[in-house]
Structure 1
Amino acid sequence: MRKLMLSTILALSFMLSFSLPALAGSPVKTLPGDITLAQAQTILTAALKKAEAIKVPMNIAIVDAGGNLKAFYRQEDAFIGSIDISIKKAVTARYFNMPTRALGAASQVGKSLYGIEVSNDGLILFAGGVPLVDANNVIIGAIGVSGGSVDEDESVAIAGAAVIK
């Protein structure tokens, strides 16, 4: 038993001695199909421009292909409670690869996805979350917007998403 434990520890040490220096010395690259920071900033800028045009202070969240927060902006006077909502809208849109408005429609009483909002630590099922699809028709992330009416939120999200195509 001791020999097995010692062998396992030595094998793991050997593997780590080769993999960790390689990871530490080389920059982490974005995986194919994932949003870059430059793309996220471009999307964020377009969404902010739309929010300013409609004069509604917004929280705007952008998540990567894995549903992890990549970029976020809270305009002056945007609701604090909408921070979490904007992030969850983006995550919801990415998890299910559809706008949150469409998922909300499919989750009404009597519909096939009724109750889905309690999955994944809570989802947001009203408009304002939109998948981000690049020029190659690959979903690279999602945008979520909150702070106005659902229609205002969705218009800002669509304006941001439109620049990536």
Structure 2
Amino acid sequence: MSILLEQAQSAVRAAQQKALELGVKMNIAVVDAGANLTAFARMDGAWLGSLDISIRKAKTARFFDMPTGELGKLSQPGGPLYHIEHSNGGLITFPGGLPILDSNGRVIGAIGVSGSSVEDDHAVAQAGAGAVRDVH
């Protein structure tokens, strides 16, 4: 099963709302189970350079079905996945990308957010991913 457009758009809306609450401007990308871009928003004034990062965070989270920050911990020098960021056309291994789960806990897509600190990126991604579980 893959994320539906309505679910992806709900994730983007929830992420945008969280970004507004935090006072940050974000690029927000949602990919489906095949890591294909399904929904995207670039908030007014968000960094252009973060556009690609948000998409790569979403794809990275889906490729490995884990938060990008967790993959980052494993890819540090001396770690078991050191240099993995060079695979798959380039991965992003810092926080802001999360798998999106359905109500049964299956991965149906992922969200990637970029435009502020990694803490803000992660919080905004969490808001987006959490909104999908609420869509029926």
Normalising by the residue count of structure 2, what TM-score does the alignment of the two structures yield?
Answer: 0.97
Distance 1:84 1:135 in 2: 29
Q: Deviations over 1:85-120 (max 9, x none)?
A: 000000000000000000000000111000100000
Match of 2:98 in 1: 130
State the aligned residue count.
133
Q: Which has the higher contact order (CA 8 A, sep 6+)?
A: 2
1:73 counterpart (28, 41, 45): 41
Match of 2:60 in 1: 92
2:119 counterpart (151, 160, 164): 151
Normalising by the residue count of structure 1, what TM-score does the alignment of the two structures yield?
Answer: 0.80
Distance 2:67 2:5 in 1: 22
SS at match of 1:163: helix
One-letter amino acid of the counterpart of residue 80, structure 2: S
Bigger Rg, structure 1 or 2:
1
1:45 counterpart (10, 13, 25): 13
One-letter amino acid of the counterpart of residue 87, structure 2: S
Match of 1:13 in 2: none
When the two chains are superposed, the root-mean-square deviation of aligned CA atoms in Å is 0.5
Moved over 2 A (4+): none
Does residue 1:112 correspond to 2:80, yes or no? yes
Q: Which runs of 5+ in 1 are unaligned?
A: 1-32
